[in-house]
Amino acid sequence: MSGGSTTNQPDFAPHVVADLRRSECCLVENLLEALLRRCAVPSPPDPEAAPSRSPTTPRMPPTGGSPEGPPSPNNQGNTSESPTPLLQRCLEAVLPKCEELAPLLNKLKISGKETNRYTPLVEFLNSALFLLKDAEPSGICPASDLDVIFAVNYPRRIHWRPGLDCSPDIVLLSCSGARRCYDMSNDEWAKVSEACLAGGLMGAVGGLEWPDVLVPAEVEWNNDPILAQVPIKYETQLTNNVPQLPTNGIHSDPSEVTSRATTHDSASETTSGSIQSSKYIPSTDPSTRPNSSDDAVNPRVPSIDATALPPAKRTYVQLESNDSGSATKKQRNHERNPNQLTLRDGVVKHTGCNAAEMLHCSAGRRHALSLVIIDDNIWVWWCDRQGAIQTTGIDFFQDLPYLLVLLLAFQRFTLADWGFDVALDPSIPPRHYDPIDPTINGPNNDSNGKGMASDTPSRGKNPPARNLSHTSKQPASRVSVTAEFEVNPNLKICYNSPVLNPLHAPFCLKGRSTTSFDVTDASEAVAPEGSHSKLVAKLYWPHHNRSKEEDIIQDARDVASDLDNHLPRVAGAGHRRELSLSVAGASPHRIRASDTDNRPSRGRVLDCVGGMHEV
């Protein structure tokens, strides 16, 4: 397991970088298919069919020579295969919208460099979301009540934990969250979208926190103007092969990058100017790349030579010394001496740090999505406790329908689709829906009265309140509620949500990611207030076939009775909530299979254990 309990960027970044270097890759069509399956209208159950082991776990379709086998070695890059029926239906549904967006693409093309691009880019993305609201692909749910909207965030930081503030360039928010951040009350979506074109999110409530963010995006530029052309007519076939961003050459120590840069003068000369376009960079032989053993790359997926990329936009050190965020300073960072930094690792590191913050900000969060946008190309990152998956890119000038399908899926996502577990963190719904009356007590933690939330999304109207009671007067953006969570039928725990002061919480992209925090035993209904037993809850992501922790503790007690006072006393445990993305694997537990990597990978599940303070 990578990662450790840290509180500052210098210690934290190496763990994220190590996890990113082991990230995997899949074709963007396959991720789109998996995301669309989350938005699909559930089919009526067949009474004669055998029950599925994991009906809510979408899988990326097999793409190799056999239904479940590894990809064919003869398949390189994007193939001429037709999209799957579900993806094809969605592509056909969004195709008529492309013509209306062409003028905004032309505006983006000549908008200028760096910060000058943020406003036209957000204007284009929000216009696309507006046009997609009435799209009705067959078998896809309507837009969710989150009513998502993009906003320019730079140069403001997104706050959450002490010691590190990140600043993604643009963010995707729920409309209710954007209203709160801009102090716009019940204004219509169109009016809120106009406010989102201004940078900074300087609302009356003091800006954004990570639980407010659905997707962060890092924006870079290579060419001014953008070299891509808007085609006369769009098709549903993916036309351009955009390789994934390199991860094997990123570094956590800027001095290491500088040292590496001085030994590659020829590479520096290549990167000092603008590259023609990312999609035209040839793939390199993996055997010639450094640390190729750490690169879990699909042989079907082309890659970019790390030394063929322009320098990074900015580092965290630069952010600390440049809070003004002026376009002049940012442009100077981009055009600095190429001998100082030849690898564009900054955008990948920022993406990884953003994803780690998102996974950390909400108890039990299953996954997070991030975007990287460079000129006319966009890459999607899926991050969960098994690591990061990067897609190949979309040239959204040439292949606009594929970007629209991605936005279509985002627009239909529920909180569960965004990875939130509202049973474990009931402070999430008040952030993303219209204000909930705190005096209204809804049902228990989920529709079944259990604590562990189902991954099945509840679509349509806003979810009811879940035993919410405000514990203290907080700013509107710092929602604080009291959570009651049923670990199992014999144990219910109570704690403040969100968990702002955990006893232990590592910052990383993958691994067990154990989080421990103080709770009380709410099962003691007859106990006077304030006299409930104090416990410690442990949330963690073990491999699905690992022995249960309470069984391991009991076995240790049975072997050596004198260990009794050295082991925690387990009050109760709840188990086995799988991660929510599978990639063409025979087992629903596997989220890494033939489409991302040839090596087998064991899936992780969410476990919750409650134990006594005394050991």
432: tokens are: 């993303």
* Contact between 140 and 36 (Cβ < 8 Å): yes
pLDDT, tens digit (0-9, with 9 covering 90-100), for 381-410: 999 988 899 999 999 999 999 999 999 999
148: tokens are: 């998502």
The reported pLDDT for the residue numbered 277 is: 30
Q: Would you place residue 603 in the very low, low, confident or very high pLDDT band (cuts 50, 70, 90)?
A: low
pLDDT, tens digit (0-9, with 9 covering 90-100), for 102-130: 999 999 999 998 889 999 999 999 999 99
pLDDT, tens digit (0-9, with 9 covering 90-100), for 124-152: 999 999 999 999 999 999 999 999 999 99
Q: At what angle do helices 400-412 and 115-132 cross, to 10 degrees?
A: 70
What residue type is assigned to position 346 of the chain? G
410: tokens are: 């985002």
E strands, 237-386, are 367-374, 377-384
3 state DSSP class of 429 = helix
The reported pLDDT for the residue numbered 469 is: 35
CA atoms within 13 A on the CB side of 502: 23
The reported pLDDT for the residue numbered 457 is: 42
* Contact between 612 and 533 (Cβ < 8 Å): yes
- Residue 483 β-bridge partners: 495
* Boundaries of every domain in the chain: 428-612
Q: What is the C-alpha to C-alpha distance for residues 272 and 281, in angstroms, rounded to an integer?
A: 15
Q: What is the pTM of this model?
A: 0.73
Number of H helices, E strands in the chain: 15, 16
∠ at Cα 312 (309, 315), nearest 5°? 155
Find all residues with CB under 8 Å of 542, minimum gap 6, and list them: 512, 549, 604, 605, 607
Q: What is the C-alpha to C-alpha distance for residues 12 and 6, in angstroms, rounded to an integer?
A: 6
pLDDT, tens digit (0-9, with 9 covering 90-100), for 282-297: 223 333 333 333 333 3
